[in-house]
Amino acid sequence: MYILDSSAFINEYHTDEPIASIPLVREELEDESAYRFDALEGSGMHMHIPEPETVERVERAADETGDLAELSQTDVRLIAAAFELDGRLVTDDYAMQNVSEKLSVAVEVIAQDGIDEQRDWRFQCQGCGREFDENHDRCPICGSDLSRKNPA
């Protein structure tokens, strides 16, 4: 089963495989993309609402990779839906791809190149330069903002 992100509707993604999505995706769409969502829902697209425990699991994985701040509520629930349905997530979002890779959720990209490898991000203080494994609102040492940094 293919689990469709909003980018699948925007880019008119098509597959002959069974498809699913979540109600929150519909709220992100406008005009023709929303019409495509409604048409597919009316013709049998499965609507899935993931269990809270699975959503929490995805959030923990996203926190571990450093992608949690990059993901919307919709993104987290789409990954959770793909996890529960043992499906293939269809998205161009790099943070979603990274977390999916960590959870062994298959991903298909649409209009962009997919990720080359799964990453666990580090965070660097813009003031004092210290690095942290976890994201904080501010540097616990000097109070400056943190930025996400490629660990390589």
Write out pLDDT tens, residues 44-81. 999 999 999 999 999 999 998 889 988 999 999 999 99
pLDDT at 51: 98
pLDDT above 90: percentage of residues in the chain? 54
Distance (Å, rounded) from C-alpha 47 to C-alpha 152? 39
Tokens of 108: 């298909």
- pLDDT class of 105 with cuts at 50, 70, 90: very high
Structural domains of the chain ordered from first start: 2-108 (3.40.50.1010), 121-152 (2.20.28.10)
pLDDT at 52: 98
Question: Span 33-48, mean pLDDT?
Answer: 92
pLDDT at 31: 87
Q: How far is CA 61 from CA 3, 76, 119, 128, in A?
A: 19, 10, 11, 28
Kindly report the number of other CB atoms within 10 A of residue 109's CB atom. 16
Tokens of 141: 């040492």
pLDDT at 90: 95
Residue-wise pLDDT tens digits, 84-98: 999 999 998 889 999
pTM for the predicted model, two decimal places: 0.74
Distance (Å, rounded) from C-alpha 23 to C-alpha 25? 5
Q: How far is CA 128 from CA 133, 145, 148, in A?
A: 16, 10, 15
Is residue 125 over pLDDT 90?
no
pLDDT at 112: 62
Question: Span 128-136, mean pLDDT?
Answer: 76
